Amino acid sequence: MNAKQIALPLLSVLGLANVAARAEEAPISTAYAARVDPAAFSDRASDSRKLGVTASPATVRLITPGVDKFSIYNLIGPPHFDEGITRRWNYVLLFPTEPGGTERLRCRMEIRFGRDRKDGYNVTVSEVVWQDQACADRVAAAD
């Protein structure tokens, strides 16, 4: 069974029909497209106190250009920095360092949105930016 045969039914069950439809249209790419830019993140003291959410790197890997905002809510929830109607959402994600372990890798991720002029009001992911290379590598290596 290949990755596409596993991913499409899972996306449909999670209520991510838009992501599943795009996955059917395009072949699944093994390359994860994300950028690392530590300067894009603020360095306020309050930012380090954000608790974040534990997430699977494989789930986060589904957030790619073209995914809509509503699908992100289903995958990892609302943004963690009180962002409402903005073009950027920031998250604190905690990735397990080993299966069954209690240690977590703390990662900052920013999702940037754009709107396709042909598509009207549908706002979708245009770019994913990570604060640390280790976090981007963890998601890129996920199956």
What does the pLDDT profile of the chain (143 residues) look like in tens digits?
444 455 555 555 555 555 555 545 544 555 788 889 888 887 776 676 778 888 999 999 999 998 988 899 899 988 877 666 678 899 999 998 887 778 889 999 999 998 876 666 778 899 999 999 999 999 999 87
CA distance 87 to 112: 6
CA distance 73 to 77: 4
Q: What is the pTM of this model?
A: 0.71
CA distance 32 to 71: 18
Element containing residue 113 per DSSP (H, E): strand 104-115
